[in-house]
A and B are shown apart, each in its own frame.
Chain A
């Protein structure tokens, strides 16, 4: 497959506007400006583009909602918070191909009649901040951003807004709160951001990878784009693979590539010829899978049918040296730390789960602890304000579902039988 999102990134100067243009960049923008915004939404719909931030929401639908709201100004926000543990797929776009994202945002801004855009960038990517600031300045100098884009009566302004280390700010309404200068606590929906978002105006939030698909959709057309990868959920997809794997990294493959093939064909299999124990397929919030469940197409439609989710496409591979109780404990420590504290089941429940898992891991677990974990998880599931709480509960439920004997062993033998 031709590389779209990671095109040209082996060129050490790929982040420079000159190199981007040499590789064909900024050619879709003038083409898009010749089209009516409605026609662009139509192309995106034909393309079947779904959001790459985790939920897989159809982009054309979100854009239609925002476009049909009569309020102005409208805002376009790029979600570059990339906080889901295991995820590092947006980073190569931000650091190596910033103009692809910027071109995608200008096209999207024009389509939505949004005149202001912000890239909400996680604080942990200081390098990307410098690169994006420079790329944005170059885009202004070249007349792609500002008051008269490419000489037309189109304006779009873009700036980077730097986060400060809060995973929950990746959730779109928390992101908006944080952009507005507040604590990053999610808002109740409805109203949805497409109607009442940033500064109470219609707002579209899309992921970095999502927006970076726009230039290519304009270039080849929605119809051709929809032929790439899964028919239900087409396009190129970035998979980021880490853990006990021979060749970790970010891979651009057709959406729907089989998980097993990602691991064994593209990434060279388990590190050092080790034996596979478990895979988290889409970032730490997605259900863990045992080795016999990897024949699943990695896309938003098929993964739920195979007991997990595509999430952010962050594949974490674990070999037999790994204690899964410990992984589960570490995950819950993360959720407890990142819970924004707004609602009780998540704020209190993540702490309880972490604490029970901690005692099982260190050998002081007692009979009934597994049932207690399931009971606490069940009391979180479906009862929280935003999906962070559900994610935490489902992590515990799925580790127990697939690896219960390992939890039981820890309790029976007062600790972990693995050495590490």
Chain B
């Protein structure tokens, strides 16, 4: 079940568009936040509130890489490895996350503290290598700096 606040939020989003269908992507974000990932319940909730079949909602959502299609750790580390980050050492940072935090690309550490997602360009090329942790940008990364950053997330 969606919280009262989430229902209100989706209704407010719905009002910004001429069709209910257009509210689908933003409503999926809300449901994902509520349920932690796009669980069957999350699709059920979005489908109910917007009157869109679950199969359509799922078919649309699975096109997009940033939705959480499976349960994830409490924090999501999104590291860019595209060209500007790659030539400034992003691949070494992938190895570092593997060795130091048991984090595999696409995986979650044994404690469920972090998930690692390898990103295409995140628009921080001038300060590469870069990553997002949840919604926070971190740039000019080094191994030491990553340790410092990840220490803040429990």
Give residues in A with beta carbon < 8 Å to B.
82-88, 91, 116, 122-127, 157, 159, 161-167, 178-185, 199, 240-244, 248-250, 280, 284, 314, 316, 318, 321-322, 326-327, 330-331, 334, 337-338, 340
Contact = CB atoms under 8 A, between A and B. Distances in A.
A159 B59 contact: no
Contacts of B29: 162, 164
Contacts of B119: 124, 165
**Residue picked from A84, A182, A318, A338, most chain B C-beta under 10 Å:** A182
B60 A125 contact: no
Given A83-B121, A248-B125, A183 B63 contact: yes
Contacts of A284: 82-83
Given A163-B64, A165-B65, A181-B22, 9 more contacts: A86-B125, A87-B121, A116-B18, A161-B26, A165-B66, A182-B60, A199-B19, A244-B87, A280-B83
A167 B120 contact: yes
A166 B64 contact: yes
A331 B86 CA distance: 11
Question: Across chains A and B, which 4 residue pairs bring their CB atoms closest together, nearest first?
Answer: A165-B66, A242-B125, A164-B64, A181-B24
A242 B66 contact: no
A87 B24 contact: no
Contacts of A167: 120
Interface in B1-41: 16, 18-19, 21-26, 28-29
Q: Indicate the size class of the contact surface on chain B.
A: 35 or more
B63 A126 contact: no
B132 interface: yes
Contacts of B61: 164
A334 B87 contact: no
B82 A330 contact: yes
29 contacts: A82-B123, A85-B121, A85-B125, A86-B121, A91-B123, A124-B123, A125-B123, A126-B135, A127-B135, A161-B22, A161-B25, A163-B25, A164-B28, A164-B67, A165-B66, A166-B63, A166-B65, A181-B23, A181-B60, A185-B63, A240-B126, A243-B88, A248-B126, A284-B83, A327-B83, A331-B83, A334-B82, A337-B120, A338-B120
A212 to B, nearest CB: 16
Interface in B55-99: 59-61, 63-67, 78, 81-84, 86-88
A183 B25 CA distance: 10
B66 A124 contact: yes
B145 interface: no
**Residue picked from B22, B28, B88, most chain A C-beta under 10 Å:** B22
Contacts of A180: 19, 21-22
Contacts of B59: 183
Contacts of A184: 63-64
A327 B120 contact: no
A250 B126 contact: yes
Contact of A165 (B19, B64, B87, B126): B64
B122 interface: yes
B82 A85 contact: yes
B126 A179 contact: no
Contacts of A88: 123-126
Contact of B123 (A87, A161, A179, A330): A87
Interface string B107-124: 000000000000111111
Contacts of B128: 242-243, 248
B137 interface: yes
B84 A178 contact: no
Contacts of B123: 82, 87-88, 91, 122, 124-125
Nearest to B140: A248
A85 B78 CA distance: 16
B65 A181 contact: no
B66 A164 contact: yes
A241 B126 contact: yes
B22 A85 contact: no
Contacts of A321: 87
Contacts of B88: 243-244
A419 B28 CA distance: 45
A98 to B, nearest CB: 16
Contacts of A91: 123
Contacts of A316: 83-84, 125
A349 to B, nearest CB: 19
A288 to B, nearest CB: 11
Contacts of A125: 123
Contacts of B67: 164-165
